[in-house]
Amino acid sequence: MTGPLTILSEEETLFRDAVTGFAETEVRPRVNEMERNAQMDRTLIDKAFAMGLMGIEADEAWGGAGGSLTMVALAVEEISKVDASSAILVDVQNTLVNYPVNTYATDAQKERYLTQLTAGKVGAYALSEAGSGSDAFSLATRAELRGGTWILNGRKMWITNGYEAEVYVVFANAKPEAGYKGITAFLIERNFPGFRVGKKEDKLGIRASSTVELLLDECEVPEENVLGPVGQGYKIAIDTLNGGRIGIGAQMIGVAGGALRAAVDYVKERKQFGKALAEFQGIQFQLAQAATELEAARLMVYNAARLRDGGHDIVREGAMAKLFSSQVCERVTSLCVELFGGYGYTRDFPVEKFYRDAKIGTIYEGTSNMQLQTIAKALLR
């Protein structure tokens, strides 16, 4: 597609509008309870599968919709306007789990796993460890081939969707002496011997989204469950995260958009000194600035998604989109809390949750400093 980035095709418009309806009718009524319980509603997950939101980009042959990363971004943005936790469930499934399976798996692996991941089984992506956050490839998790079975030992941390997942893309080093060139990706089922889901984190934001520890203690993985060639896990992980960052960017513009919408509605109604807050030029200018920054962030996210869909390298553009959208989201949600005054600091109004949900955007799938490093490398090479 050519033309303005924010002009959507008819298919994209219909899809976005359907997701907006889903967010309003299915997600919104469940948000407060999921937030209180710090847990996703399984019924909502099932409804997301039924609507096809958990297999947007996957090939139709394996139960997916055969859509684009742009469509994933649209879905994540629209759901994030209502609830970031529900959006990240959809985002991780599409960008971090389905994508590497759809791209690197054998047909037999796709038949076994991708058909399940598009039909009802939640997936998770397990790269991070306690000692390797930003330095993601100094993995301590080891994989050893013993008589036709891979044996994995290690711990994974900060695994999104890990509590609900039944299929995991797990990275371990099969040749430690080769450094990052020994890193290998594996497809692991929750019921494999030696695999266990550990502690669930109690978090500041995205509280309904599960973040867990994974424990691999002599975990037995069939030899045919290696995803891609042995030693190519580094390439798979990087390629996957490059697209994943665009999903995070979409989440951030959605969160900011949801907060801004709530603030605009509020300042039109709230009266001080005999007139609505919206009539004060100081308030108008703050909202105008926020809307302008949000539009710039949206353009960056859409552009990165369009480039990826067109088969272009998006290492720099993806990093820029994630960096800027997460910074804008922090600023916009902070402003919205202030515009609500004391009410904005209470849980009776929506903006405090948007504000808490914003923070994670500068941390996961590469901190802001890591994005700056990526952008600088591209600039200076």
So which residues are the catalytic ones? 365
CA 331 to chain centre: 20
Four-CA torsion 200, 203, 209, 211, nearest 10 degrees:
-40
CA 106 to chain centre: 25
Q: Identify the CA nearest to 100 among candidates 183, 180, 187.
A: 187
Which residues on adjacent β-strands are paired with residue 189? 167
**CA–CA dist 47, 190 (Å, integer):** 22
Q: Identify the CA nearest to 269 among candidates 215, 180, 349.
A: 349
DSSP state of 94: I
Whether 167 and 113 have beta carbons less than 8 Å apart is answered as yes
DSSP assignments along 6-64, one per residue:
TPPPHHHHHHHHHHHHHIIIIIGGGHHHHHHHTS--HHHHHHHHHTTTTSSSS-GGGT-
Whether 67 and 8 have beta carbons less than 8 Å apart is answered as no
